[in-house]
């Protein structure tokens, strides 16, 4: 008979991959609800912790939701159910479902990290950290973003087609570009505009990220192609990444990727 896996066993494994001390100061990664001693009956992986995801976890017999984005960023002063965050927490606690977030700590690693997965989706080779952490004590690469090369230089039009097909983008917001070919590519899932100076310093031809503001696009100054593919679009494959990691480690409970599209942005 297999030994039951506790929530503590699961979180310890996830934190061996993406240690909590790597998260940014504003973040709230880690265990948000749940008893560490409880036995895991199933895991639902997601990008966002929303009510439909909790409902799907209940339907599939999962008592743990592992998501990239934490549902709680700031302290909750009340639980009345008036706000969507409160409703998610209430529903999870009532159903006995643990909520675990693995956010900027998963952004800050190369192996099995969010940005490595994006680089792999785009077919980039020679992947390395775009902005290494100077205070890193781990023996493995640590930092934000990745840098890599396409197998061969391609045109702007071909690069946009690549982004749409590999990243599931309905559209790409981008700066102007001429006939120069694109091969070296910098990547940062989610909001990555702060990494533009580093992408320029590393002489990237293109910078793929999300959440770019109007005035920030001017900073490209024709030196680099900024391609904003959308926050959800850039990180959606993290769902399968987490599911794969959990499935490969634990065999005595089921792991599922959510089927709920939690993207709040719609295109018409």
What does the pLDDT profile of the chain (268 residues) look like in tens digits? 678 999 999 999 999 999 999 999 999 999 999 999 999 999 999 999 999 999 999 999 999 999 999 999 888 889 999 999 999 999 999 999 999 999 999 999 999 999 999 999 999 999 999 999 887 668 788 999 999 999 999 999 999 999 999 999 989 999 999 999 999 999 999 999 999 999 999 999 999 999 999 999 999 999 999 999 999 999 999 999 999 999 999 998 999 999 999 999 999 8
C-beta of residue 14 within 8 angstroms of C-beta of residue 66: yes
Backbone φ, ψ for residue 171 (5° rounding): -160, 160
Q: How far is CA 233 from the centre of its chain?
A: 10
Token look-up 């912790």 returns 49
Predicted TM-score of the model (pTM): 0.95
Alpha helices for 122-264 (secondary structure H): 156-167, 196-201, 214-217, 231-235, 238-249
Domains of the chain: 7-103 (3.40.1390.30), 108-234 (3.40.1390.30)
166: Cβ contacts below 8 Å, ≥ 6 apart: 121, 122, 123
Helix (H, G, I), strand (E, B) or coil at 126: strand
Provide the 8-state DSSP code for 56.
Answer: H
């Amino acid at each position: 008979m297999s030994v039951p896996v506790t929530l503590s066993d699961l979180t310890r494994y996830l934190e061996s991959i993406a240690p909590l001390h790597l998260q940014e100061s504003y973040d709230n990664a880690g265990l948000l609800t749940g008893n560490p001693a409880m036995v895991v009956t199933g895991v639902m992986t997601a990008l966002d912790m929303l009510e439909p995801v909790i409902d799907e976890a209940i339907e599939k017999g999962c008592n743990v939701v592992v998501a990239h984005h934490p549902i709680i960023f700031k302290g909750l002063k009340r639980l009345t159910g008036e706000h969507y965050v409160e409703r998610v927490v209430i529903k999870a606690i009532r159903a006995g479902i643990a909520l675990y977030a693995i956010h900027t700590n998963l952004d800050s690693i190369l192996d099995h990290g969010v940005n490595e997965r994006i680089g792999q989706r785009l077919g980039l080779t020679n992947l390395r950290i775009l902005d290494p952490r100077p205070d890193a004590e781990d023996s493995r690469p640590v930092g934000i973003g990745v840098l890599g090369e396409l197998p061969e230089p391609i045109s702007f039009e071909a690069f946009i087609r690549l982004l749409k097909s590999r990243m599931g983008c309905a559209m790409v917001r981008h700066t102007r570009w001429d006939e120069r070919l694109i091969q070296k590519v910098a990547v940062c899932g989610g909001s990555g505009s702060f990494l533009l100076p580093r992408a320029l310093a590393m002489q990237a031809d293109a910078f793929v990220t999300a959440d770019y503001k109007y005035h920030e696009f001017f900073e490209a100054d024709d030196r680099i192609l900024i391609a904003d593919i959308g926050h959800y679009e850039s990180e959606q494959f993290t769902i399968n990444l987490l599911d794969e990691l959990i499935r490969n480690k634990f065999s005595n409970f089921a792991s599922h990727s959510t089927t709920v599209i939690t993207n709040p942005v719609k295109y018409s």
